[in-house]
Amino acid sequence: MKKVGFLRSVVSIAMFSLGACSFASAQDGQVNLYTTREPGLIKPLLEAFTKASGVKVNAIFFKDGMAERVAAEGSRSPADVLMTVDIGNLIDLLDRNVTQPVKSPALEAAIPANLRAADGSWFTLATRARIVYAAKNLSLDALNYENLADPAWKGKICIRSGQHPYNTALTAAYIAHHGVDKAEAWLRGVKANLARKPGGGDREVARDILGGLCQIGVGNSYYIGIMRSGQGGADQKAWGEAVKAILPTFEGGGTQVNISGASVAKFAPNKENAIKLLEYLVSDEAQKLYASHDFEYPVKAGAPIDPIIQSLGALKVDPMPLADIVKHRKTASELMDKVGFDN
């Protein structure tokens, strides 16, 4: 008898916790966001959107496997907006057929044509540059990506894993500029220059420069802002201030830029609100937040860049089209293995 009582209470607890959740995915005044972006970066934007529009945002923050989950959920997926970083990840969403094209004059007006799909199946929301962090006292003001393989840097470079999408994207851009063979030679050169095994994140590069482990390193532009602003705490402020940022360029090109972007999900139950959210994210107000809170470069022309990022110097975006870069992604990742970059 006791056991039946126990069972009953378990079942009723289960029913209660089920009942506490809501399952209807289409709901008035709500929008469901699947994203691989960090909650701390995105939440202020979402809160501002809710305040401005009255639409509540429900979110899941993923690491990997977002595309797989949406694909598996199929036509009943609650996802409305899929948001991620790196052009390659956006293209993966298209390849898995989990997005839908949408038409929005507001989005088209705000985003330059080369930073969105022609049919409206993905949109860039902000951009970031892959730059070089250098020890403050180093007499170095300009650099080409090509220079990173220069033996003069032997034992002086720090970088995160070669298999991280930021680094495969940089290598893919290198391939697009110079071809596979030269890219391989370049990677071998960079590998030979490393001060330590590739690992950690971009911020560890700044910390290791402060710690004297290396003199230069590769990292994303917005981390400089996060560190120097003190958003990541006092320690990181010291890391950020220990380095100066150099915006490298490709020989005959510009600085490699990657994007953070979003798509409307194929079976979005709240499609209208999904578009509303995307439109809000390229509004002046949100673009300002992208710049001031996340330290990214706004995608909308004329939107202000955060002063910290502005101080890094004028960004000369590499003219190589994203579509030409992304098709080398797989090759870039294989090259990393081939040269044993992470070993």
Partner 1 sequence: MLLASCLLACALVAPVAGLVAIAAEGSGGAWPHLLNYVLPGAVRDTLILLTGVGCLVIAMGTGLAWLMTAYEFPGRRIFEWALLLPLAVPTYIIAYAWLDLLHPVGPVQDALRALLGVTGAGVLPVPDVRSMGGCILLLSFVLYPYVFMPTRALFLMQAGGLLEAARMLGAGRRGVFFRVALPLARPAIALGASLALMETLNDIGASEFLGVRTLSVSIYATWVNRSNLPGAAQIALALMALAVALILIERWARRRQRYVSQTQRAPRARPVRLKGWALAGALTAASLPVLIGFVFPALYLVAQAWRRIAFAGLPHDLGEQIRNTVTLSAFGTLAALCAGFMLAYAVRITRAPLAAASLRVGSLGYAIPGTVLAIGLLPGLMELDGALADAIDWALGGTAGLILSGSGAALVYAYATRFVAISAGGVEAGLSKLSPSLDCAARALGETAGGALRRVHLPLLRPALGAAALLVFVDCMKELPMTLLLRPLNYETLATHLYGEAARGTYEDGAVAALCIVLVGLAPVILLGRLSRRPSLAHAAPNPPAPIPSAVAASP
60 binds partner 1 (CB under 8 A): yes
Minimum CB separation of residue 283 from partner 1 in Å reads 24
Which part of the chain contacts partner 1 (CB under 8 A), choosing from 46-54, 97-105, 313-321, 330-338?
330-338
Cα–Cα distance for residue pair 34/46, rounded to 1 Å: 12
Candidates 84, 124, 127, 236; binder of partner 1 (CB under 8 A) is: 236
DSSP lists the bridge partners of residue 259 as 127
Please list every residue from 288 through 327 that binds partner 1, using CB under 8 A.
none
Candidates 29, 39, 179, 321; binder of partner 1 (CB under 8 A) is: 39
155 binds partner 1 (CB under 8 A): no
Minimum CB separation of residue 240 from partner 1 in Å reads 11
285 binds partner 1 (CB under 8 A): no
Please list every residue from 156 through 175 that binds partner 1, using CB under 8 A.
161, 163, 165, 168
343 binds partner 1 (CB under 8 A): yes
Cα–Cα distance for residue pair 59/190, rounded to 1 Å: 39
Cα–Cα distance for residue pair 279/319, rounded to 1 Å: 26
4 binds partner 1 (CB under 8 A): no
252 binds partner 1 (CB under 8 A): no
59 binds partner 1 (CB under 8 A): yes
156 versus 300: smaller Cβ distance to partner 1 = 156
* Number of residues in contact with partner 1 under rule CB under 8 A: 73
The DSSP result for 250-292, as a single string, is -TTS-B-EEEEEEEEETT-TTHHHHHHHHHHHTSHHHHHHHHH
92 versus 146: smaller Cβ distance to partner 1 = 92
17 versus 139: smaller Cβ distance to partner 1 = 17
Residue 257 near residue 129, CB atoms below 8 Å: yes
Residue 203 near residue 219, CB atoms below 8 Å: yes
CA distances from 342 to 196, 202, 220, 334 (A): 10, 15, 19, 12
CA distances from 73 to 35, 40, 99, 247, 266 (A): 15, 26, 13, 42, 11
Cα–Cα distance for residue pair 222/305, rounded to 1 Å: 11
Candidates 26, 142, 185, 301; binder of partner 1 (CB under 8 A) is: 26
18 binds partner 1 (CB under 8 A): yes
63 binds partner 1 (CB under 8 A): yes
11 binds partner 1 (CB under 8 A): no
Residue whose C-alpha is closest to residue 68's, from 97, 33, 42: 97
329 binds partner 1 (CB under 8 A): yes
Minimum CB separation of residue 214 from partner 1 in Å reads 9
**Residue carrying the six token digits 């790196």:** 86
84 binds partner 1 (CB under 8 A): no
316 versus 338: smaller Cβ distance to partner 1 = 338
Residue whose C-alpha is closest to residue 115's, from 282, 327, 322, 328: 322
> What mask of x and - would describe binding to partner 1 in positions 183 to 222, judged by CB under 8 A?
-------------xxxxxx-x---xx-xxxx---------
Q: Which residues, other chains included, contact 5 with Cβ-Cβ below 8 Å and sequence gap of 6+?
A: none
* DSSP run (H or E) holding 131: strand 123-135
Minimum CB separation of residue 73 from partner 1 in Å reads 5
